[in-house]
Amino acid sequence: MIAHNIVHFARLLRGAGMAIGPDRVLAALAAVEQVGVQRRDDVHAALGAVMLERHEQQALFDAAFAQFWRGAGTLSLGDAADAPGRPSSRRLGEALAAAPAAAGALSSAAPAASGLSLGFSERERLRRADFESMSTAEFALAKKLAEELPLPIQPVRRRRHEAATTSRRGGRLDLRATLQRMARQPHTLQPLYSRPREELPALVVLLDISGSMQRYARLLLHYVHGLTRRALRVSTLTFGTRLTDITRCLRERDPDAALRLADAMVPDWHGGTRIASALHRFNQDWAPRLLGGNAAVLLVTDGLDRDEHGDLSAAAARLHRRAHQLVWLNPLLRFDGFEPRALGVRALLPHVDRFLPVHNLASLAALGDALRAPPVPRVSNPSSALE
């Protein structure tokens, strides 16, 4: 599978010291799709065009390419393959030694005259595949793709204005600033423009990490990490049997390091679920600080509440009053015959603005369009929210 091979090649370059992130992996997939795999030089040029930052990296890239794509079976390249030889870089040698199984598996991959189409059709299939049914390799690739999905919200206009160079894109004549400049330079007339300031609203993610949400929570953390790294004001709290703020963990640049920090901080992975208690504590301790302005709340849970002593309906109603928009993402909604029979589901539904599925990459990618649409009226009958 060519997409799988490119991901491993990117990891090899990263292990050898090059800054290769998920954005470059996606660009590499698109570049190879454009040039095809008939000629080895074309693949080399396409990957180099999107993965190289500086000219000094060319020698390392060439050596890594020769070592990694050394077998004609990997890409069915028509040109003669480079001899394996010895790595020209110590770091490259260490990176190759760190992943011998991956390199061996890649060199024996199936011929990919059809492999490229399989790779990219596989990538499209991954967009539709349920997180729960993915293999380990597919799940690893899905985590990379999740980090680069579009932002789920658009900028909002504020009352304050900022300077604009022209009247295009909402700019208008700023008469006050123009007259002030004329007072300092009376012999010149240069109109000045301004436009409403735009900024991304805050986003609060409440993520269920109980046992029933294990597979979904892991990948969604990669998605939220990608949002946090793109300068979006994201606050992330996990809940199972208790509420934990992991926002600072997800600000770590490396996604694997960020999740390791979150693992160390969160004590209740894969346990029970106390949604009512978690929402009650959030309303009491965190909502006054995080829900100012136009902050939206993404509540990610299957709604299977095991909190016998909490009032889930009252806690959800209070959260709905304080949030600009309350969106419930539920992986169980992927089933066509889903019905709100669980008590937790029935308690939450009347107090949310959106009820959306979150079980694959396509549902995450479509989240932005769903949140930008006008909110639906609140319903009193939970069953009607699904129609």
- Lowest mean per-residue pLDDT among 88-92, 113-117, 214-218, 325-329: 113-117
Interval 337-342 mean pLDDT: 78
pLDDT for res 94: 59
Q: At the top level of CATH, which class does the domain 203-386 belong to?
A: alpha beta
pLDDT averaged over the chain?
76
Exposure class string for 279-293: b at 16+ Cβ within 10 A, else e: bbbbbeebbeebbee
Q: Side chain identity at 112, as an amino acid letter?
A: A
Order of strands across the sheet with 172-173? Answer: 156-164, 193-199, 172-173
Indicate the DSSP class of residue 157: E
Task: State how far the Cα of 20 lies from the Cα of 88, in Å rounded to an integer.
Answer: 20
In terms of pLDDT, which residue wins out, 236 or 308?
236
Beta bridge partners of residue 28, listed in sequence order: none
Contact in structure between 95 and 15 (CB atoms under 8 Å): yes
What pTM value is reported for the model? Answer: 0.59
pLDDT for res 124: 67
Contact in structure between 115 and 109 (CB atoms under 8 Å): yes
Q: Please state, for a pLDDT cut of 70, what percent of the chain lies above it.
A: 74
φ, ψ of residue 238 in degrees (nearest 5) = -105, 155
Q: Which of 268, 230, 231, 228 is nearest to 248 (CA)?
A: 228
Q: Is pLDDT at 213 greater than 50 in this prediction? A: yes
- Lowest mean per-residue pLDDT among 179-183, 202-206, 219-223, 369-373: 369-373
In the block, tokens 């208690």 appear at 277
Per residue in 50-105, pLDDT tens?
998 877 788 888 888 888 876 433 444 444 334 444 444 555 665 666 554 333 33
When mean pLDDT is compared over 94-103, 192-201, 262-271, 337-346, the highest value belongs to: 262-271
Beta bridge partners of residue 199, listed in sequence order: 156
Distances (CA, A) of 44 to 19, 61, 323, 365: 18, 9, 50, 31
φ, ψ of residue 69 in degrees (nearest 5) = -100, 40
3-state secondary structure of 29: helix
Instruction: Identify the H or E element spanning 96.
Output: helix 90-98
Q: Is pLDDT at 379 greater than 70 in this prediction? A: no
pLDDT for res 117: 37
Q: Which of 120, 45, 12, 112 is nearest to 72 (CA)?
A: 112
Question: What pLDDT band is residue 121 in, cutting at 50, 70 and 90?
Answer: low
Give CATH 3.40.50.410 domain extents, the chain: 203-386
In terms of pLDDT, which residue wins out, 235 or 15?
235
In terms of pLDDT, which residue wins out, 218 or 86?
218
Q: Is pLDDT at 305 greater than 60 in this prediction? A: yes
Per residue in 164-206, pLDDT tens?
776 566 577 777 887 787 788 877 777 888 877 777 778 899 9
Order of strands across the sheet with 243-245? Answer: 243-245, 234-239, 203-208, 296-300, 325-330, 354-357
pLDDT for res 83: 40
pLDDT for res 194: 81
Q: Is pLDDT at 386 greater than 70 in this prediction? A: no
Q: Please state, for a pLDDT cut of 90, what percent of the chain lies above it.
A: 19
pLDDT for res 151: 65
pLDDT for res 350: 92
pLDDT for res 11: 85
